[in-house]
Amino acid sequence: MAWTAHLARPLAQIADLALPPRCPGCGAITPADHRFCTHCWTSLRFLGPPWCAACHLPFDFERGEGARCAACIADPPPHDGIRAAVAYGEVARGVALKLKYSGRLACAATMARAMARLMPAEADLLVPVPLHRWRLWSRGYNQAGLIAAALGRAHSVPMAPGLLRRVKATPVLRGLGARARAKAVAGAFALAPDARAALAGRTVVLVDDVHTSGATANACAKLLKRGGAGKVILLCWARVLDREEGAD
């Protein structure tokens, strides 16, 4: 009713004054929700082409169509590219940690907004990287699922949160070498019984918050492709470009 809208307007204005929008990075007051302050914004390194044709590792300059990085020439990845909104750094790390460990759920929408420009046009299905049930129980939510839900709403792409499951708890991968990381996630994931019908020939966007070594993404991509997916593209908030940083 008109009178209720009239009453609600000043209440909303009071709420805006009491709880103004704040920078997702440092908490400074900003003009609107999900906006970074100037300092945090300029601290972020946004990623995109030119990049490796296989893994989408950013290149410093254009190397020509189909150019691949040395790692992909030596060992082609099982996925069809990693699209990350920003490089992993202090601000990107802070936003990811606020979502993962501090319950700042609005950060999922902030990440999704930055990731939206890299959403594959041919995307058929969004699949978040799953948490093991113990970790999901202790945290109360899957951060990748929240990001995928925000992307799905913005792009009208369906999400399948139960299609991929983490059936084995894995240790923290920080500090482990590539072989140890791969061993830690071996057998950690499984497909739902009806996954083949949902995956058949489709382009799957695997959604996560931070991409580090690729052990998790590779394990998920292999499984999704064995299940019938035509393409598996990883879309995430931040990508670790220096292997000495971050945690998978």
Q: Is the pLDDT of residue 5 over 50?
A: no
Distance from C-alpha of 246 to C-alpha of 176, rounded to nearest angstrom: 11
Q: Is the pLDDT of residue 53 over 50?
A: yes
Q: What is the pLDDT of residue 74?
A: 95
Per the CB < 8 A criterion, the answer to whether 165 and 130 are in contact is yes
Beta-carbon neighbour count of residue 230 at 10 Å?
15
pLDDT tens by residue, 204-223 = 999 999 999 889 999 999 99
φ/ψ of residue 223, rounded to 5: -65, -45
Confidence of residue 174 (pLDDT cuts 50, 70, 90): low
Instruction: For residues 104-127, give the mean pLDDT.
Output: 97
Q: Is the pLDDT of residue 193 over 90?
A: yes
Helix axes 143-155, 106-115, angle to 10 degrees: 50
Which tokens is 225 given? 């492709």
Q: What is the pLDDT of residue 18?
A: 61
Confidence of residue 17 (pLDDT cuts 50, 70, 90): low
Distance from C-alpha of 61 to C-alpha of 71, rounded to nearest angstrom: 17
Per-state percent for the chain, helix, strand, coil, to nearest 5: 40, 15, 45
Q: Which helix (H) or strand (E) holds 221?
A: helix 215-226
Q: By three-state DSSP, how is residue 59 classified?
A: coil
Q: Report the range out of 6-10, 62-66, 112-116 with the highest average pLDDT.
A: 112-116
Q: What is the pLDDT of residue 243?
A: 57
Distance from C-alpha of 178 to C-alpha of 113, rounded to nearest angstrom: 31
Percent of the chain having pLDDT more than 70? Answer: 87
Q: How far is CA 47 from the centre of its chain?
A: 14
Mean pLDDT, rounded, of the chain: 89
Instruction: Return the minimum-mean-pLDDT range out of 14-23, 24-33, 179-188.
Output: 14-23
Q: Is the pLDDT of residue 93 over 50?
A: yes
Q: Is the pLDDT of residue 65 over 70?
A: yes
